[in-house]
Amino acid sequence: MIKSRQSVYLPLVEALANRVQKKVLDVGCGRAEWLELLGERGVPAEGLDLNDDFVADGKRAGLNVFSADAMQYLGAQPDQSYGLISAFHVVEHLGFENLLLFLREAYRVVDDGGAILLETPNPANLLVGACNFYLDPTHERPIPSILLSFAAEFSGFEQVVIVPVNRGFLQNNLELMPTELSGASVINRVVSSLDQNFMQAPDYAIIAFKKAGNELVEVANSLVSDSPLPISAKEAEDVNALLERVIEAEAERATLRADATSARVQLHDTLERMDETQVRLGEAHGRLEVLQARLLDAQEAASNSKQMQRAQELEAQLQAAHARAAAAEDLANRSQQHVIALLSSSSWRLSSPIRVVGKAVRKAGGAPGAAKRTARLGLLHAVAYVRCRPALKQRIANLLARFPRVRARLVRYAGFDAVQGVVSGAPLPAVESVGRLTARGRSIYHDLISAKNGDTQ
């Protein structure tokens, strides 16, 4: 695990080894994982440690390690004798005065084209700075990254890069909410604050270059990576599903409007055909009366066979006229049944709120407040429609429970009595004891009781 964490620095060390043909010195090498990594890549390195067991294990592994005090060893080395000096979780044990002495000696011993690499716990992570750091009783105090960077510059190093590390090993399950959700911006600020404080990288390193303008500064900067919080996939899926339902509802409403328009056109055509049929029926009755009068005249005047034959012809014409009148009456009855079926259809009932709203708008005209009264009338019709359908009422109540502002606006426009049971949700529990409330709570409670009594009256 340690080798996996330290491998993040290998691009810098390999590039430095190609430019500066000098060894790496690892101060406080411990179990020598860093020396093993460097050896696997052919980078010459040696390490020192005060723990004799660690030194013995390193030698048995064939590594160049020895027991020595860091300050004494560095003080005995000639100038510019190493290409890189590294120290993993060492500087927090030194104390600030000894840290400055260590940095000055490291500055003298490292090559002009080289650098130092110092990794230490990151106190910007509150859990590390307030708790985990003190699990090691030999730790002096946490060192903020800005302070360690300043100490390196104060000791002569001309350019410093701060690299947060090991954040990927944290169990960070924080996620941001989709911005489309109500209140997401406030919640995301809280989540980001938790991430920035509790979930900061648990460690950091400074890479201090002895001289400014070193081409390896770009390599050091490439080691710094951001890890932004992801958007919650489940919340995003819920938002998308809600948007799809809204789109489907809009499409259904457009279909109902089209059906209502078509129904109105069909009704208009049917009424016109009924008017034409009634006119034809009146004309047929008129012709029938004329024929009946002519038949009577013919019967009275018939005195011979020729007149009787004429009377028979007139009687046949009368029967034909009766047949046409019966056909006209049958057509009128069928038209009337068509109108009754149209008025009883689902499209006609569903479009009733639209016709009522349109009629109210035409009647109200430009009167002040007409639009608001018309909107409230439509809303009351919609509430009455929902109340008759328990399943639909429960779905709408559950949906509005997630959007309290929309629910409050519906109550304000339609009135509490009108929408009670649709948007109000479960009844509020009764106050057990007003005396246990604060003074401000009692005042609010009495105001609510007064408002309720006034609304009831």
Q: What is the CATH number of the domain that holds 198?
A: 3.40.50.150
Residue 101 has pLDDT above 60, yes or no: yes
The answer to whether the CB of 108 falls within 8 A of the CB of 79 is yes
CB within 8 A of 387, min separation 6: which ones? 393, 421, 422
Query: At 147, is the secondary structure helix, strand, or coil?
Result: helix
Same domain, 124 and 29: yes
Q: What's the CA gap between 138 and 130, in Å, rounded? A: 16
Tens digits of residue pLDDT in 411-452: 766 665 555 555 554 444 555 667 777 888 888 888 898 888
Query: At 72, is the secondary structure helix, strand, or coil?
Result: helix
Q: What's the CA gap between 94 and 50, in Å, rounded? A: 14
Residue 346 has pLDDT above 50, yes or no: yes
Stretch 301-306: mean pLDDT: 65
Residue 58's pLDDT band (boundaries 50, 70, 90)?
A: very high
Tens digits of residue pLDDT in 63-86: 999 999 999 999 999 999 999 999
Q: What's the CA gap between 413 and 395, in Å, rounded? A: 21
Residue 187's pLDDT band (boundaries 50, 70, 90)?
A: confident
Same domain, 334 and 388: no
Residue 156 has pLDDT above 90, yes or no: yes
Residue 330 has pLDDT above 70, yes or no: yes
Q: Name the domain boundary from 313, 332, 347.
A: 347
Q: What is the pLDDT of residue 49?
A: 95
CB within 8 A of 48, min separation 6: which ones? 25, 26, 27, 28, 29, 65, 66, 67, 68, 70, 73
For 437, the domain range is 431-457
Same domain, 164 and 294: no
Same domain, 130 and 240: no
Tens digits of residue pLDDT in 412-421: 666 655 555 5
- Strand order of the β-sheet with 65-67 is 65-67, 45-49, 24-27, 82-88, 110-121, 203-209, 159-165
Same domain, 333 and 380: no
Most confidently modeled range among 48-57, 299-308, 444-453:
48-57
Q: What is the pLDDT of residue 248?
A: 76
Q: What is the pLDDT of residue 153?
A: 95
Same domain, 435 and 449: yes
**pTM: predicted TM-score of the whole model, two decimal places:** 0.50
Same domain, 401 and 294: no
Same domain, 166 and 81: yes
Single-letter amino acid code for the residue at 321? A
Q: Name the domain boundary from 295, 324, 347.
A: 347
Residue 315's pLDDT band (boundaries 50, 70, 90)?
A: confident
Q: 37 or 417: which carries more pLDDT confidence? A: 37
Same domain, 356 and 224: no
| 236 CB-contact burial (10 Å; exposed 0-12 / middle 13-18 / buried 19+) | middle
Same domain, 406 and 457: no
Tens digits of residue pLDDT in 200-232: 788 999 999 999 888 889 888 888 876 665 555
- Residues facing 204 on adjacent strands: 120, 164
Q: What is the pLDDT of residue 426?
A: 43
Lowest mean pLDDT among 113-127, 181-195, 287-301, 311-325: 181-195
| 7 CB-contact burial (10 Å; exposed 0-12 / middle 13-18 / buried 19+) | middle
The answer to whether the CB of 85 falls within 8 A of the CB of 116 is yes
Q: 132 or 381: which carries more pLDDT confidence? A: 132
Q: What is the pLDDT of residue 326?
A: 79
Q: What is the pLDDT of residue 428?
A: 46
Q: Name the domain boundary from 304, 323, 347.
A: 347
Tens digits of residue pLDDT in 167-176: 766 655 555 6
Stretch 301-324: mean pLDDT: 75
Query: At 164, is the secondary structure helix, strand, or coil?
Result: strand
Same domain, 151 and 107: yes
CB within 8 A of 294, min separation 6: which ones? 314
Percent helix, percent strand, percent coil in the chain, to nearest 5 = 65, 10, 25
Residue 193 has pLDDT above 80, yes or no: no
Same domain, 287 and 340: yes
Count of domains for the chain: 4
